[in-house]
Chains A and B, each alone.
Chain A
Amino acid sequence: MSEALLTVKNLSVDFHTARGTVHAVKNVSWSVARGETLAILGESGSGKSVSANAVMNLLDIPPAEIVSGEILYDGKDLLKVDYETHRALNGKKIAMIFQDPLGHLNPVYTVGWQIVEMMTAHGRPADAARQRALELITRVGLPEPEQAMRKYPHQFSGGQRQRLMIAMALMLKPDLLIADEPTTALDVTIQAEVLALLKELQAETGMGLVLITHDLGVVAEIADRVVVMNKGEIVETGTVREVYHAPKHPYTRKLIDAAPGKGEITLLDPSAPLLLDAQKLNKTYGSFAALKDVSLTIARGQSLAVVGESGSGKSTLARTLLRLEQADSGQALWKGRDLISMGAKELLGVRREIQMVFQDPTQSLNPRMSVYSLIAEGWDIHKLMPDRRARRARVIELLEQVGLSAEHVDRYPHQFSGGQRQRIAIARALALEPEMIICDEAVSALDVSIQAQVIALLDDLRRRLNISFLFIAHDLGVVRDFADTVIVMKSGEIVERGPTAQIFDAPQHPYTQRLLAANLDPDPDVQAQRRNAPVHA
């Protein structure tokens, strides 16, 4: 290995909070060389971003406290240099890009101004900065750089914004780029483009790249070496191949096993009776057609996945079937009765039969209601379970069904982890004994290991209670593990449909092929193979 560009040595950071001191990272050491890509892999709360933030002097002190360690760059310990020295390094020698480019770009200034500022903040003349900005905006693949400079962040798409962030980061040709979950908020095809761009730019400039991620696929695609973090500690470190093929630490093994897309493919039971039959659903918002002649059927106990990128209309489809949105035309027969045209009274009955689980349980569960009230509320609405004592017993039963226990009944949502909260949301849906559950990205916000558990839970419920699922997701691995049938949507239309095995093994539509090609495999060898022989649409 060549000489290290930046070395983090025995770094320990504590966070002092009202509820006591949290050891965010403990004795963490890693280094990155020029031209090398180091991935820091970990789930939420693993402390994977903390050391990078310490490198950039972005930790808020207090509540953070750097207990020990050093960060060596260019012969200096960045934890000891004065504020001004560190400031002068930021952006110039070490640059950083972030997960959410919309939040991380200033909404009230043009992107041109913000990119130019990267150089003017370090004392470079504005006209030279402007010239370089135009070059880089072109380089990262945005059309019409002159116009782009004059626009505001909200006028770009997510992928374009991340490209602009990258252009900004590269203005002063930094030695090191730190990318904190740079593609997590992006669609798979855009993710593939952005990762490819980062790799090209790294090859051109020879900069070191530290990539913080929770996604094994991203690691396999882009990194040379990987540091695996769990609960503030580095549990394993090595080349990506070593770590993937021969993980030493049980946590790494667990993480690799939890990666979706490896399980048995579920087959559809052809004899199951039809539950929902939707024909030619249309929905427009102004001149924007969100749904164009969408037809689908769901049988009892079937798990139908709807995949597609943002803006493809998959959430509108769910909302239309739930009558949260009114379709412009078409019909959806639910056990023979048309959902789209039925009256309010009949609809109330159907609302009990079709339940929904949303993406973010932190937002979909009322923080001021206890678990008991959250789960029992549906019974009040639908005038079920009049016996109060029986209710409590039933709530406990439901909690046990989703892997929680009786002690959780009187707690509030904030006392649970993300995965547990999603279990509560599922228990809430189950309380009304639904015949179909619509999951809108129900596992996307969860860590991989939790995701695998929740998928297993849903699959178990489907088998035992014969509940049908309409499963909206963008993660193809998760879809492969859970669905028996897949619908691919693009711009409001269904472009392909079929049994899961067929869609994954022999995709017909070019868009499906593109989606599958962009989907990152956690195996670095598989990824390398795909890179060398890309699927041409």
Chain B
Amino acid sequence: MKTDFRALHGLDLPLLEQFGRYVWDLLHLDFGESLRKARPAIDIVLEAYAWTLPLALITMGLVVVSAIVLGSLAAFRVGGFFDRLVSIVSLVGASAPDFWIAIVAIVVFALGLGWVPTSGVGTPLHWVLPIAVLFIRPFGLVVQVVRGSMLTALGSLYVKTARAKGVKNMPLVFVHTLRNGMLPVITVIGDQAAALLNGAVIVETIFGFPGIGKLMIDSILQRDFNVVLAAIMVTALAIFIMNILIDIAYGLLDPRIRH
């Protein structure tokens, strides 16, 4: 039984040859079979990705829009009530541990109020809590960076020019300043998006969400190496693409980089 299994998966070969085979197969986009499910590892990984990708995109979309709007407005009226409120909320958000928030959220909103299901997938309602919990930390971080970056940009000379031109406040903030202020923000957004693409291990596990994070931790615990390796390769590729997108975004935002 054990020897059969070893022979089937080539585990009886010398280590170097095993590695050589792995690399050769990898070059042919063959990630091997799952040791548990007798299916190609890559299929299992891509299935999980089909869950994680929308989760990450929706969450980051919400983070980017809300953080930019709230962070910009806070910076525009720095020191005001709204600024303080945003600062406190973002500080709490950036420092709250997500496993704790996830559990509290389940206790309050799923068990207590019964508004949403506790875990699993199936209906749109199942997505609400994972997205909400995943949203909090990147939101807190990005708001702080947006606020700081916008403060710097609002103090710059071209904003003075715009004020001397009689530009109204909203275009002053969201047209003149924002595009300049976004440059440092994009880097942070990229980091946070990469973290979500990695799979939010804890949050996916708590909510029983069949994404890449949960798959990865399950596969590690089950010693399903081929799936773990495939998951890591795919994630690396996703982060690679993410970084390219960020560099492209830099060029789009700042003509000085393009020329």
Binding site for B on A (CB under 8 A): 56-58, 87-92, 95-96, 98, 100, 103-109, 117-118, 121-122, 152, 154-155, 165, 168
Residues of chain A contacted by B254 (CB below 8 angstroms): 107-108
Question: Once the chains bind, are B163 and A152 in contact (CB under 8 Å)?
Answer: no
Contact of B164 among A91, A100, A107, A152 (CB under 8 A): A91
Main secondary structure of the interface of B (DSSP, over half): helix
**Is B168 interfacial (CB-CB < 8 Å)?**
yes
Residues of chain A contacted by B256 (CB below 8 angstroms): 107, 152, 154
CA distance A91 to B179 in the complex (A): 23
Residues of chain B contacted by A118 (CB below 8 angstroms): 165
Residues of chain A contacted by B171 (CB below 8 angstroms): 121
Contact of B255 among A107, A122, A168 (CB under 8 A): A107
Question: Once the chains bind, are B166 and A89 in contact (CB under 8 Å)?
Answer: yes
18 examples of A-B residue contacts, CB within 8 angstroms: A58-B164, A87-B168, A90-B164, A91-B164, A91-B167, A105-B161, A106-B161, A107-B254, A107-B256, A108-B253, A109-B176, A109-B179, A117-B167, A121-B165, A121-B168, A152-B256, A154-B256, A168-B165
Residues of chain A contacted by B158 (CB below 8 angstroms): 103-107
Residues of chain A contacted by B160 (CB below 8 angstroms): 58, 98, 104
Residues of chain B contacted by A154 (CB below 8 angstroms): 255-256, 259
Q: Mark B232-259, 1 if CB is under 8 A from A, else 0.
A: 0000000000000000000001111001
B residues 129-156 touching A (CB-CB < 8 Å): 156
Residues of chain A contacted by B180 (CB below 8 angstroms): 106-108
Residues of chain A contacted by B163 (CB below 8 angstroms): 56-58, 90
If A58-B164, A91-B165 touch, whether A106 touches B176 (CB-CB below 8 Å) is yes
CA distance A122 to B167 in the complex (A): 8
Of chain A, the residue at the smallest CB distance from B160 is: A58
Of chain B, the residue at the smallest CB distance from A53 is: B160
Binding site for A on B (CB under 8 A): 156-158, 160-168, 171, 176, 179-180, 253-256, 259
Residues of chain A contacted by B161 (CB below 8 angstroms): 96, 98, 104-106, 165
Question: Once the chains bind, are B164 and A56 in contact (CB under 8 Å)?
Answer: yes
User: Which of B162, B166, B254 has the largest number of chain A CB atoms within 10 A?
Assistant: B166
Of chain A, the residue at the smallest CB distance from B159 is: A106
CA distance A104 to B162 in the complex (A): 9
Residues of chain B contacted by A87 (CB below 8 angstroms): 166, 168
Question: Once the chains bind, are B179 and A108 in contact (CB under 8 Å)?
Answer: yes
Question: Once the chains bind, are A103 and B157 in contact (CB under 8 Å)?
Answer: yes
Question: Once the chains bind, are A91 and B166 in contact (CB under 8 Å)?
Answer: yes
Residues of chain A contacted by B162 (CB below 8 angstroms): 106
Q: B176 CB to closest chain A CB, in angstroms?
A: 6
CA distance A155 to B167 in the complex (A): 24
Question: Once the chains bind, are A96 and B166 in contact (CB under 8 Å)?
Answer: no
Question: Once the chains bind, are B165 and A90 in contact (CB under 8 Å)?
Answer: yes
CA distance A117 to B253 in the complex (A): 19
CA distance A187 to B128 in the complex (A): 62
CA distance A57 to B171 in the complex (A): 18
Residues of chain B contacted by A121 (CB below 8 angstroms): 165-168, 171
Residues of chain A contacted by B156 (CB below 8 angstroms): 103
CA distance A168 to B158 in the complex (A): 13
Question: Once the chains bind, are A155 and B259 in contact (CB under 8 Å)?
Answer: yes
Closest CB pairs A-B (n = 7)? A90-B166, A103-B157, A91-B166, A91-B165, A106-B158, A96-B164, A152-B255
Residues of chain A contacted by B179 (CB below 8 angstroms): 108-109
Of chain B, the residue at the smallest CB distance from A99 is: B157
Residues of chain B contacted by A58 (CB below 8 angstroms): 160, 163-164
Q: B179 CB to closest chain A CB, in angstroms?
A: 5
If A58-B160, A107-B158 touch, whether A92 touches B166 (CB-CB below 8 Å) is yes
User: Which of A89, A96, A106, A122 has the largest number of chain B CB atoms within 10 A?
Assistant: A106
User: Which of A56, A100, A108 has the largest number of chain B CB atoms within 10 A?
Assistant: A108
CA distance A51 to B253 in the complex (A): 36
CA distance A104 to B160 in the complex (A): 7
CA distance A165 to B254 in the complex (A): 20
CA distance A107 to B162 in the complex (A): 13
If A106-B180, A108-B253, A108-B255 touch, whether A100 touches B165 (CB-CB below 8 Å) is no
Residues of chain B contacted by A152 (CB below 8 angstroms): 255-256, 259
Residues of chain B contacted by A106 (CB below 8 angstroms): 158, 161-162, 176, 180
